[in-house]
Structure 1
Amino acid sequence: MPRRGSGFYNTIEYIGPRPQKPKRKNFFGGWVIIVIAVGMGYYFGKPLISSLNANNAEASMEQADSLISTLRTSKTFGNQLAAAALGQTVVSSHYDPAYYKIPYPNGDVPADKGVAADVVVRTYRKMDMDLQQLVHEDMRQDFRPYPQLWDATAPDPNIDHRRVENLAKFFERKGQTLSTSRNATDYKPGDVVVWTLANAETHIGIVVPGPGEHSGEPWVVHNLKSGVKWENVLFDYSIQRHYRFPADEVK
Protein backbone atom coordinates (compact mmCIF):
# COMPACT_ATOMS: atom_id res chain seq x y z
CA MET A 1 0.00 0.00 0.00
CA PRO A 2 1.59 3.34 -0.97
CA ARG A 3 2.51 5.74 1.75
CA ARG A 4 0.99 9.23 1.90
CA GLY A 5 4.41 10.75 1.49
CA SER A 6 5.22 8.79 -1.67
CA GLY A 7 3.46 11.23 -4.05
CA PHE A 8 0.53 9.00 -4.87
CA TYR A 9 -1.87 11.26 -3.02
CA ASN A 10 -0.04 14.46 -3.83
CA THR A 11 -1.82 14.96 -7.21
CA ILE A 12 -5.57 14.64 -7.80
CA GLU A 13 -6.51 13.80 -11.35
CA TYR A 14 -9.09 16.21 -12.93
CA ILE A 15 -11.34 14.83 -15.64
CA GLY A 16 -13.22 17.39 -17.74
CA PRO A 17 -12.69 20.53 -19.85
CA ARG A 18 -9.82 22.80 -19.01
CA PRO A 19 -11.00 25.78 -16.96
CA GLN A 20 -10.90 29.07 -18.89
CA LYS A 21 -10.76 32.67 -17.79
CA PRO A 22 -14.17 34.39 -17.84
CA LYS A 23 -14.64 36.56 -20.95
CA ARG A 24 -15.08 40.28 -20.62
CA LYS A 25 -18.56 41.44 -21.64
CA ASN A 26 -18.77 43.38 -24.91
CA PHE A 27 -20.91 46.31 -23.90
CA PHE A 28 -20.39 48.06 -27.26
CA GLY A 29 -21.92 45.16 -29.18
CA GLY A 30 -24.98 45.23 -26.97
CA TRP A 31 -25.55 48.93 -27.59
CA VAL A 32 -25.27 48.41 -31.33
CA ILE A 33 -28.02 45.79 -31.21
CA ILE A 34 -30.24 48.10 -29.16
CA VAL A 35 -29.71 51.02 -31.57
CA ILE A 36 -30.52 48.82 -34.58
CA ALA A 37 -33.66 47.47 -32.89
CA VAL A 38 -34.88 50.97 -32.01
CA GLY A 39 -34.20 52.17 -35.55
CA MET A 40 -36.12 49.30 -37.11
CA GLY A 41 -38.98 49.83 -34.71
CA TYR A 42 -39.20 53.50 -35.68
CA TYR A 43 -38.93 52.78 -39.41
CA PHE A 44 -41.65 50.15 -39.49
CA GLY A 45 -43.78 51.58 -36.70
CA LYS A 46 -43.96 55.17 -37.94
CA PRO A 47 -46.79 54.54 -40.43
CA LEU A 48 -48.86 52.98 -37.66
CA ILE A 49 -48.13 55.84 -35.28
CA SER A 50 -48.89 58.35 -38.01
CA SER A 51 -52.15 56.59 -38.76
CA LEU A 52 -53.16 56.66 -35.10
CA ASN A 53 -52.27 60.35 -34.81
CA ALA A 54 -54.17 61.10 -37.99
CA ASN A 55 -57.25 59.35 -36.67
CA ASN A 56 -57.06 61.42 -33.51
CA ALA A 57 -56.88 64.62 -35.60
CA GLU A 58 -59.61 63.60 -38.02
CA ALA A 59 -62.08 66.40 -38.74
CA SER A 60 -65.85 66.15 -38.54
CA MET A 61 -68.34 66.05 -41.42
CA GLU A 62 -69.84 69.33 -40.18
CA GLN A 63 -66.45 71.00 -40.50
CA ALA A 64 -66.05 69.54 -43.98
CA ASP A 65 -69.44 70.85 -45.11
CA SER A 66 -68.66 74.31 -43.74
CA LEU A 67 -65.26 74.51 -45.43
CA ILE A 68 -66.62 73.17 -48.73
CA SER A 69 -69.22 75.94 -48.81
CA THR A 70 -66.53 78.56 -48.25
CA LEU A 71 -64.07 77.18 -50.81
CA ARG A 72 -66.71 76.80 -53.51
CA THR A 73 -67.33 80.55 -53.54
CA SER A 74 -63.65 81.25 -54.16
CA LYS A 75 -62.53 82.46 -57.57
CA THR A 76 -59.26 80.51 -57.47
CA PHE A 77 -59.07 77.12 -59.14
CA GLY A 78 -57.04 75.62 -56.29
CA ASN A 79 -59.66 76.43 -53.67
CA GLN A 80 -62.44 75.06 -55.83
CA LEU A 81 -60.41 71.90 -56.44
CA ALA A 82 -59.86 71.56 -52.69
CA ALA A 83 -63.64 71.84 -52.18
CA ALA A 84 -64.16 69.02 -54.68
CA ALA A 85 -61.59 66.89 -52.85
CA LEU A 86 -63.24 67.49 -49.49
CA GLY A 87 -66.56 66.47 -51.01
CA GLN A 88 -65.22 62.95 -51.38
CA THR A 89 -64.69 62.58 -47.63
CA VAL A 90 -68.44 62.53 -47.03
CA VAL A 91 -68.90 59.59 -49.42
CA SER A 92 -68.19 56.07 -48.16
CA SER A 93 -65.40 54.55 -50.24
CA HIS A 94 -63.36 51.40 -49.66
CA TYR A 95 -59.83 50.79 -50.89
CA ASP A 96 -59.94 48.51 -53.93
CA PRO A 97 -56.95 48.20 -56.32
CA ALA A 98 -58.66 45.65 -58.59
CA TYR A 99 -58.59 46.07 -62.36
CA TYR A 100 -61.94 47.14 -63.80
CA LYS A 101 -63.00 47.50 -67.40
CA ILE A 102 -64.65 50.90 -67.50
CA PRO A 103 -66.17 53.22 -70.13
CA TYR A 104 -64.03 55.79 -71.94
CA PRO A 105 -64.02 58.72 -71.55
CA ASN A 106 -65.39 59.67 -68.12
CA GLY A 107 -65.22 56.07 -66.97
CA ASP A 108 -65.01 55.19 -63.29
CA VAL A 109 -64.90 52.19 -61.00
CA PRO A 110 -67.87 51.70 -58.62
CA ALA A 111 -68.37 54.84 -56.52
CA ASP A 112 -67.86 52.99 -53.24
CA LYS A 113 -64.47 51.62 -54.33
CA GLY A 114 -61.14 53.02 -55.38
CA VAL A 115 -57.48 53.75 -54.65
CA ALA A 116 -55.48 56.89 -53.91
CA ALA A 117 -55.29 57.84 -57.60
CA ASP A 118 -59.09 57.63 -57.90
CA VAL A 119 -59.40 60.41 -55.32
CA VAL A 120 -57.39 62.69 -57.61
CA VAL A 121 -59.24 61.60 -60.75
CA ARG A 122 -62.67 62.10 -59.19
CA THR A 123 -61.67 65.47 -57.78
CA TYR A 124 -60.61 66.80 -61.18
CA ARG A 125 -63.77 65.42 -62.78
CA LYS A 126 -65.75 67.76 -60.53
CA MET A 127 -63.86 70.53 -62.29
CA ASP A 128 -64.79 69.12 -65.72
CA MET A 129 -61.27 67.77 -66.28
CA ASP A 130 -61.16 64.08 -67.16
CA LEU A 131 -57.73 62.71 -66.22
CA GLN A 132 -58.66 59.36 -67.71
CA GLN A 133 -58.87 60.98 -71.14
CA LEU A 134 -56.05 63.47 -70.61
CA VAL A 135 -53.57 60.82 -69.47
CA HIS A 136 -54.64 58.37 -72.17
CA GLU A 137 -54.28 60.91 -74.97
CA ASP A 138 -50.86 62.00 -73.74
CA MET A 139 -49.70 58.38 -73.51
CA ARG A 140 -50.97 57.69 -77.01
CA GLN A 141 -48.95 60.59 -78.35
CA ASP A 142 -45.77 59.70 -76.44
CA PHE A 143 -45.80 56.43 -74.53
CA ARG A 144 -42.09 56.10 -73.79
CA PRO A 145 -41.70 58.80 -71.10
CA TYR A 146 -44.27 57.11 -68.91
CA PRO A 147 -43.07 54.55 -66.32
CA GLN A 148 -42.78 51.05 -67.78
CA LEU A 149 -43.58 49.33 -64.50
CA TRP A 150 -46.41 47.01 -65.45
CA ASP A 151 -45.12 45.27 -68.60
CA ALA A 152 -47.54 47.35 -70.65
CA THR A 153 -46.80 47.67 -74.35
CA ALA A 154 -49.52 50.22 -75.09
CA PRO A 155 -51.80 52.64 -73.23
CA ASP A 156 -54.78 51.17 -71.38
CA PRO A 157 -57.61 53.64 -70.60
CA ASN A 158 -59.02 51.24 -68.01
CA ILE A 159 -56.08 51.51 -65.62
CA ASP A 160 -53.37 54.01 -66.67
CA HIS A 161 -54.94 57.00 -64.90
CA ARG A 162 -55.44 54.91 -61.74
CA ARG A 163 -51.70 54.45 -61.24
CA VAL A 164 -49.84 57.02 -59.14
CA GLU A 165 -46.66 56.97 -61.22
CA ASN A 166 -48.59 57.69 -64.40
CA LEU A 167 -50.44 60.61 -62.83
CA ALA A 168 -47.14 61.98 -61.53
CA LYS A 169 -45.58 61.81 -64.99
CA PHE A 170 -48.62 63.52 -66.52
CA PHE A 171 -48.52 66.37 -63.98
CA GLU A 172 -44.77 66.68 -64.56
CA ARG A 173 -45.30 67.00 -68.30
CA LYS A 174 -48.40 69.19 -68.30
CA GLY A 175 -48.43 70.93 -64.94
CA GLN A 176 -46.12 72.89 -62.69
CA THR A 177 -43.49 71.08 -60.62
CA LEU A 178 -42.97 72.71 -57.22
CA SER A 179 -40.73 72.43 -54.19
CA THR A 180 -40.84 69.32 -51.99
CA SER A 181 -39.80 71.23 -48.88
CA ARG A 182 -41.18 70.73 -45.40
CA ASN A 183 -42.24 74.37 -45.29
CA ALA A 184 -46.02 74.48 -44.88
CA THR A 185 -46.32 77.80 -46.71
CA ASP A 186 -45.09 76.15 -49.93
CA TYR A 187 -48.28 74.08 -50.18
CA LYS A 188 -51.53 75.62 -51.39
CA PRO A 189 -55.08 74.23 -51.60
CA GLY A 190 -55.47 72.13 -54.73
CA ASP A 191 -51.80 71.12 -54.97
CA VAL A 192 -51.09 67.46 -55.69
CA VAL A 193 -48.48 65.67 -53.56
CA VAL A 194 -46.81 62.31 -54.17
CA TRP A 195 -45.21 60.50 -51.22
CA THR A 196 -43.04 57.44 -50.76
CA LEU A 197 -44.29 55.36 -47.83
CA ALA A 198 -42.15 53.32 -45.45
CA ASN A 199 -42.84 50.18 -47.49
CA ALA A 200 -41.53 51.95 -50.64
CA GLU A 201 -45.00 52.27 -52.19
CA THR A 202 -45.97 55.56 -53.83
CA HIS A 203 -49.01 57.43 -52.60
CA ILE A 204 -50.88 60.52 -53.80
CA GLY A 205 -53.24 63.10 -52.34
CA ILE A 206 -54.58 66.64 -52.67
CA VAL A 207 -53.73 69.53 -50.36
CA VAL A 208 -56.68 71.19 -48.62
CA PRO A 209 -57.03 73.60 -45.69
CA GLY A 210 -57.41 72.18 -42.20
CA PRO A 211 -60.65 72.45 -40.20
CA GLY A 212 -61.63 75.28 -37.87
CA GLU A 213 -58.66 76.78 -36.06
CA HIS A 214 -56.36 74.71 -38.33
CA SER A 215 -57.60 76.42 -41.50
CA GLY A 216 -54.17 77.95 -42.11
CA GLU A 217 -52.49 74.53 -42.13
CA PRO A 218 -52.03 72.33 -45.22
CA TRP A 219 -53.94 69.09 -44.64
CA VAL A 220 -54.62 66.45 -47.31
CA VAL A 221 -57.46 64.41 -48.73
CA HIS A 222 -56.30 60.91 -49.63
CA ASN A 223 -57.09 57.21 -49.46
CA LEU A 224 -54.40 55.24 -47.66
CA LYS A 225 -56.22 51.88 -47.76
CA SER A 226 -58.80 52.99 -45.19
CA GLY A 227 -61.21 55.05 -47.25
CA VAL A 228 -61.06 58.72 -48.22
CA LYS A 229 -59.81 60.80 -45.27
CA TRP A 230 -59.21 64.48 -44.47
CA GLU A 231 -56.09 64.41 -42.33
CA ASN A 232 -53.12 66.38 -41.05
CA VAL A 233 -50.50 64.02 -42.49
CA LEU A 234 -48.77 66.05 -45.22
CA PHE A 235 -45.35 65.73 -43.58
CA ASP A 236 -45.85 62.29 -42.06
CA TYR A 237 -44.39 60.60 -45.14
CA SER A 238 -41.50 61.33 -47.48
CA ILE A 239 -42.65 63.89 -50.07
CA GLN A 240 -41.17 63.00 -53.45
CA ARG A 241 -43.10 65.24 -55.84
CA HIS A 242 -45.31 68.31 -55.64
CA TYR A 243 -47.43 69.58 -58.52
CA ARG A 244 -49.93 72.26 -59.40
CA PHE A 245 -52.23 71.51 -62.32
CA PRO A 246 -53.13 73.43 -64.44
CA ALA A 247 -49.74 75.11 -64.45
CA ASP A 248 -51.00 78.53 -65.56
CA GLU A 249 -52.79 78.99 -62.22
CA VAL A 250 -50.16 80.29 -59.77
CA LYS A 251 -51.79 80.98 -56.43
Structure 2
Amino acid sequence: MTALCGLLLCWQAQAAVDPAALVAAARQQVGVTLGYDPRYRRLAYPGGDVPLETGVCSDVVIRALRPQGLDLQVALHQDMREHFRAYPRSWGATRPDPSIDHRRVPNLMTWFRRQGMALPVSREAGAYRPGDVVTWNLGRGQTHIGLVSDRIGVDGVPLILHNIGRGAREEDLLFRFEITGHYRFPGTPEAG
Protein backbone atom coordinates (compact mmCIF):
# COMPACT_ATOMS: atom_id res chain seq x y z
CA MET A 1 0.00 0.00 0.00
CA THR A 2 1.40 3.38 -0.96
CA ALA A 3 1.57 6.33 1.41
CA LEU A 4 -1.20 8.01 -0.58
CA CYS A 5 -3.45 5.01 -0.35
CA GLY A 6 -2.85 5.04 3.39
CA LEU A 7 -3.63 8.77 3.45
CA LEU A 8 -6.76 8.38 1.33
CA LEU A 9 -8.05 5.38 3.26
CA CYS A 10 -7.45 7.27 6.50
CA TRP A 11 -9.31 10.25 5.07
CA GLN A 12 -12.18 8.04 3.89
CA ALA A 13 -12.42 6.42 7.29
CA GLN A 14 -12.68 9.83 8.94
CA ALA A 15 -15.45 11.12 6.69
CA ALA A 16 -16.62 10.42 3.17
CA VAL A 17 -17.32 13.38 0.93
CA ASP A 18 -20.85 14.66 1.48
CA PRO A 19 -22.11 15.72 -1.97
CA ALA A 20 -24.51 18.32 -0.52
CA ALA A 21 -21.73 19.92 1.56
CA LEU A 22 -19.36 19.81 -1.42
CA VAL A 23 -21.90 21.61 -3.62
CA ALA A 24 -22.63 24.15 -0.86
CA ALA A 25 -18.91 24.88 -0.40
CA ALA A 26 -18.49 25.44 -4.14
CA ARG A 27 -21.59 27.64 -4.27
CA GLN A 28 -20.18 29.81 -1.45
CA GLN A 29 -17.42 30.86 -3.85
CA VAL A 30 -19.93 32.43 -6.27
CA GLY A 31 -19.85 36.20 -5.81
CA VAL A 32 -16.61 35.94 -3.81
CA THR A 33 -14.14 34.58 -6.36
CA LEU A 34 -14.66 37.25 -9.00
CA GLY A 35 -11.57 36.87 -11.18
CA TYR A 36 -9.46 34.36 -13.02
CA ASP A 37 -5.69 34.36 -12.61
CA PRO A 38 -3.62 31.42 -13.86
CA ARG A 39 -0.24 32.91 -12.88
CA TYR A 40 2.17 30.70 -10.97
CA ARG A 41 2.37 31.63 -7.30
CA ARG A 42 4.44 30.00 -4.60
CA LEU A 43 1.91 28.58 -2.13
CA ALA A 44 2.20 27.53 1.48
CA TYR A 45 2.18 23.77 2.00
CA PRO A 46 -0.08 22.27 3.20
CA GLY A 47 -3.26 24.29 2.82
CA GLY A 48 -1.87 26.80 0.32
CA ASP A 49 -4.24 28.88 -1.78
CA VAL A 50 -4.23 31.89 -4.05
CA PRO A 51 -6.28 34.90 -2.86
CA LEU A 52 -9.96 33.94 -2.56
CA GLU A 53 -10.99 36.75 -4.91
CA THR A 54 -9.33 34.97 -7.82
CA GLY A 55 -8.21 31.55 -9.00
CA VAL A 56 -8.73 29.09 -11.80
CA CYS A 57 -11.26 26.33 -12.42
CA SER A 58 -9.40 23.81 -10.28
CA ASP A 59 -9.43 26.19 -7.31
CA VAL A 60 -13.23 25.85 -7.11
CA VAL A 61 -12.85 22.09 -6.61
CA ILE A 62 -9.85 22.41 -4.26
CA ARG A 63 -11.61 24.97 -2.04
CA ALA A 64 -14.84 22.97 -1.95
CA LEU A 65 -13.04 19.81 -0.80
CA ARG A 66 -10.93 21.30 1.99
CA PRO A 67 -13.84 21.69 4.46
CA GLN A 68 -14.52 17.98 3.85
CA GLY A 69 -11.04 17.13 5.09
CA LEU A 70 -9.47 16.42 1.70
CA ASP A 71 -6.59 18.72 0.78
CA LEU A 72 -5.91 17.99 -2.89
CA GLN A 73 -2.65 19.91 -2.64
CA VAL A 74 -1.34 17.36 -0.13
CA ALA A 75 -2.98 14.25 -1.59
CA LEU A 76 -1.84 14.94 -5.14
CA HIS A 77 1.67 15.99 -4.06
CA GLN A 78 2.11 12.81 -2.01
CA ASP A 79 1.03 10.66 -4.96
CA MET A 80 3.21 12.57 -7.42
CA ARG A 81 6.23 12.16 -5.14
CA GLU A 82 5.78 8.39 -5.23
CA HIS A 83 4.45 7.95 -8.77
CA PHE A 84 5.73 10.94 -10.75
CA ARG A 85 5.85 8.99 -14.03
CA ALA A 86 2.09 8.31 -13.80
CA TYR A 87 1.36 12.02 -14.24
CA PRO A 88 1.45 14.18 -17.37
CA ARG A 89 4.64 16.12 -17.98
CA SER A 90 3.19 18.65 -20.38
CA TRP A 91 4.79 21.50 -18.44
CA GLY A 92 8.35 20.19 -18.55
CA ALA A 93 8.35 19.43 -14.84
CA THR A 94 11.17 17.23 -13.60
CA ARG A 95 9.81 16.85 -10.06
CA PRO A 96 6.57 17.53 -8.16
CA ASP A 97 5.76 21.13 -7.23
CA PRO A 98 3.18 21.54 -4.41
CA SER A 99 2.51 25.12 -5.49
CA ILE A 100 1.02 24.24 -8.88
CA ASP A 101 0.53 20.50 -9.52
CA HIS A 102 -2.89 20.29 -7.84
CA ARG A 103 -4.10 23.31 -9.85
CA ARG A 104 -3.56 21.57 -13.22
CA VAL A 105 -6.61 19.76 -14.57
CA PRO A 106 -4.72 16.87 -16.25
CA ASN A 107 -3.00 16.13 -12.92
CA LEU A 108 -6.34 16.12 -11.11
CA MET A 109 -7.80 13.80 -13.76
CA THR A 110 -4.89 11.42 -13.20
CA TRP A 111 -5.27 11.57 -9.42
CA PHE A 112 -9.05 10.94 -9.52
CA ARG A 113 -8.54 8.03 -11.92
CA ARG A 114 -5.77 6.58 -9.73
CA GLN A 115 -8.18 6.68 -6.77
CA GLY A 116 -10.72 4.57 -8.65
CA MET A 117 -13.19 7.43 -8.98
CA ALA A 118 -13.52 7.43 -12.79
CA LEU A 119 -16.94 6.77 -14.29
CA PRO A 120 -17.95 6.44 -17.92
CA VAL A 121 -18.51 9.70 -19.77
CA SER A 122 -22.16 9.99 -20.75
CA ARG A 123 -24.39 12.32 -22.79
CA GLU A 124 -27.28 11.45 -20.45
CA ALA A 125 -27.99 14.14 -17.84
CA GLY A 126 -29.17 11.51 -15.36
CA ALA A 127 -25.69 9.97 -15.19
CA TYR A 128 -24.40 13.02 -13.30
CA ARG A 129 -25.04 13.47 -9.58
CA PRO A 130 -24.52 16.51 -7.32
CA GLY A 131 -20.88 16.64 -6.21
CA ASP A 132 -19.54 14.72 -9.21
CA VAL A 133 -16.41 16.16 -10.78
CA VAL A 134 -16.43 16.69 -14.56
CA THR A 135 -13.59 17.69 -16.89
CA TRP A 136 -13.81 19.10 -20.40
CA ASN A 137 -11.68 19.76 -23.45
CA LEU A 138 -12.25 23.41 -24.38
CA GLY A 139 -10.12 23.08 -27.52
CA ARG A 140 -6.68 24.43 -28.34
CA GLY A 141 -5.11 22.41 -25.53
CA GLN A 142 -7.26 23.96 -22.81
CA THR A 143 -8.87 21.79 -20.16
CA HIS A 144 -11.55 22.66 -17.62
CA ILE A 145 -12.95 21.20 -14.40
CA GLY A 146 -16.09 21.79 -12.36
CA LEU A 147 -18.55 20.28 -9.91
CA VAL A 148 -22.07 19.11 -10.72
CA SER A 149 -24.63 21.22 -8.86
CA ASP A 150 -27.81 20.08 -7.14
CA ARG A 151 -29.71 22.59 -9.29
CA ILE A 152 -31.14 21.71 -12.69
CA GLY A 153 -31.24 24.03 -15.70
CA VAL A 154 -34.33 24.72 -17.80
CA ASP A 155 -33.35 21.92 -20.18
CA GLY A 156 -33.27 19.31 -17.37
CA VAL A 157 -29.46 19.22 -17.28
CA PRO A 158 -27.60 19.77 -13.98
CA LEU A 159 -25.83 23.09 -13.61
CA ILE A 160 -22.06 23.24 -13.05
CA LEU A 161 -20.12 25.15 -10.37
CA HIS A 162 -16.88 26.34 -11.97
CA ASN A 163 -14.64 29.25 -12.96
CA ILE A 164 -14.08 29.51 -16.69
CA GLY A 165 -12.63 32.99 -16.65
CA ARG A 166 -15.09 35.32 -14.97
CA GLY A 167 -14.98 34.08 -11.41
CA ALA A 168 -16.90 31.27 -9.71
CA ARG A 169 -20.32 30.73 -11.26
CA GLU A 170 -23.15 28.24 -11.41
CA GLU A 171 -24.12 27.75 -15.05
CA ASP A 172 -25.54 25.44 -17.68
CA LEU A 173 -22.26 24.07 -19.01
CA LEU A 174 -22.35 20.27 -18.74
CA PHE A 175 -22.78 19.48 -22.43
CA ARG A 176 -21.39 22.72 -23.91
CA PHE A 177 -17.90 21.24 -24.42
CA GLU A 178 -16.45 17.77 -24.96
CA ILE A 179 -16.51 15.90 -21.63
CA THR A 180 -13.19 14.15 -21.00
CA GLY A 181 -13.72 12.85 -17.48
CA HIS A 182 -16.44 12.03 -14.95
CA TYR A 183 -15.47 11.26 -11.35
CA ARG A 184 -17.40 10.40 -8.20
CA PHE A 185 -16.19 10.22 -4.62
CA PRO A 186 -16.57 6.91 -2.77
CA GLY A 187 -19.86 6.57 -0.94
CA THR A 188 -21.80 8.82 -3.36
CA PRO A 189 -24.94 7.12 -4.73
CA GLU A 190 -24.56 5.65 -8.22
CA ALA A 191 -26.49 7.14 -11.10
CA GLY A 192 -29.71 5.36 -11.69
Q: Same fold (TM over 0.5)?
A: yes
How far, CA to CA, are the matches of 1:85 and 1:192 in structure 2?
A: 12
Q: Is the Cα contact below 8 Å between 2:87 and 2:107 reproduced in 1?
A: yes
| 1:115 corresponds to 2:68 | no
Point out the more displaced range, 170-179 or 84-93.
Answer: 84-93
Residue 8 (structure 2) aligns with: none
- Segments of 4+ in structure 1 off by > 2 A? 247-251
Residue 29 (structure 2) aligns with: 88
Residue 97 (structure 1) aligns with: 38
1:183 to 124, 130, 134: 124
1:68-117 superposed Cα distances (whole Å, 9 cap, x missing partner)? xxxxxxx9711221111111113133100011111100011111111011
Letter in 2 for 1:226: R
Residue 221 (structure 1) aligns with: 161
Shift, 1:250, TM fit: 3.4
Residue 180 (structure 2) aligns with: 240
| 1:250 corresponds to 2:189 | yes
How far, CA to CA, are the matches of 2:75 and 2:20 in structure 1?
A: 22
Mind listing any 5+ residue stretches in structure 1 that lack a counterpart? 1-74
What is the aligned-residue identity percentage? 47
Q: Is the Cα contact below 8 Å between 2:81 and 2:96 reproduced in 1?
A: yes
Residue 198 (structure 1) aligns with: 139
Shift, 1:249, TM fit: 3.3
Q: Is the Cα contact below 8 Å between 1:209 and 1:217 reproduced in 2?
A: no
1:129 to 54, 58, 70: 70
- Quick one: higher RCO (CA 8 Å, sep 6+), 1 or 2? 2
TM-score (norm 1): 0.66
Letter in 2 for 1:119: V
Secondary structure of the structure 1 residue equivalent to 2:162: strand
How far, CA to CA, are the matches of 1:127 and 1:248 in structure 2?
A: 13
Q: Is the Cα contact below 8 Å between 1:93 and 1:113 reproduced in 2?
A: yes
- Which has the greater radius of gyration? 1
Secondary structure of the structure 1 residue equivalent to 2:84: coil
Mind listing any 5+ residue stretches in structure 2 that lack a counterpart? 1-15
Letter in 1 for 2:174: L
Secondary structure of the structure 1 residue equivalent to 2:147: strand
Residue 148 (structure 1) aligns with: 89
Aligned Cα root-mean-square deviation (Å): 2.0
Structure with the largest fraction of helix? 1
How far, CA to CA, are the matches of 1:241 and 1:208 in structure 2?
A: 16
| 1:138 corresponds to 2:79 | yes
1:172 to 113, 116, 119: 113
How far, CA to CA, are the matches of 2:69 and 2:19 in structure 1?
A: 14
Letter in 1 for 2:188: E
